[in-house]
Amino acid sequence: MRKILVLISGSGSNLQALIDACEDGRIPDASIVHVVSDRKEAYGLKRAEAKNIATTRHGILPYKKRHPDDSPAPTFEAARQAYDADLAGIVLAQNPDIVVCAGFMRIVTTSFLDPLQKAALPIINLHPSLHGDLIGANCIERAWDEFNAGKRKETGVMVHFVIKDVDMGEPILQKEVDMTGCKTLEELQDRIHRTEHGLIVDGTRLVLERGRAPQQQP
Ligand code: GRF
């Protein structure tokens, strides 16, 4: 049985897609063994606990208290590195075959990525934009604004390997999302989430089929 560990921050609709796909065989011979959230109120934790999947709440606040940053523009770099080193420990302790970031909103550092790389443990992320198009947060809203300004007719979704450069890792799967006829932001969000729920399942299955190879370049 291949073991999937999922990182989340929010409602977990993509986590639910993975749970359902493991149950109905779209991801064969695999199960979600652990869910980690950086936000203790994330609804996704309730979805996991409803299926008796073990969960961990791993918040950044204790690290910011332990490693304060009083500079004018605080980056909390020391807190982030310490947080990420412990996150790597939590993940590796579960000995998964793959780590899936499904709406995990933290930007990870090498303190997290390097230990996973050493263990040849693939880590993938779902992002609501095509590779190299919109990077970072609020991509759906930004695409919507550009659509209304007549600057684009489509956007997309990708599943990619995670590297330290945000949203820039090698794409595994991508799918365009046509925005023609979109009347509201909610309608666009719905189109994108429906695309995401299929792509995260296909991307996870594809990487599991590849096995534990060190595809990711640091
Ligand atoms: C998804 O749109 C994902 O692309 C983005 O955050 C959202 C998470 O949705 N990074 P959910 O928590 O899986 O419902």
Residues designated as active site: 127
Question: Is 33 within a domain?
Answer: yes
Residue 109 structural domain: 2-130+159-175+196-210
Terminal-to-terminal C-alpha distance of the chain:
28
Q: What's residue 212's pLDDT?
A: 54
The pLDDT value given to residue 82: 98
Q: ∠ CA 47-193-136 to the nearest 5 degrees?
A: 100
Cα of 192 to ligand 1 centre, how many Å? 10
pLDDT surpasses 50 at 215 = no
Among protein residues, the one with the nearest Cα to ligand 1's atom 8 is 103
* Cα separation, 19 vs 142, whole angstroms: 30
Q: Give this prediction's pTM.
A: 0.95
- How far, in Å, is the centroid of ligand 1 from the Cα of 216? 23
Query: Is residue 63 in some structural domain?
Result: yes
Query: Total domain count for the chain?
Result: 1
Summary mean pLDDT of the chain: 96
CA 71 – ligand 1 centroid, Å? 32
**pLDDT tens digits for 74-126?**
999 999 999 999 999 999 999 999 999 999 999 999 999 999 999 999 999 99
* Contact residues for 130 (Cβ-Cβ < 8 A; gap 6+): 155, 156, 157, 158, 174, 176
pLDDT over 90 percentage in the chain: 95
Atom 7 in ligand 1: which residue has the minimum CA distance?
103
3-state secondary structure of 173: strand
CATH of the domain at 107: 3.40.50.170
pLDDT per residue as tens digits for the range 126-179: 999 999 999 999 999 999 999 999 999 999 999 999 999 999 999 999 999 999
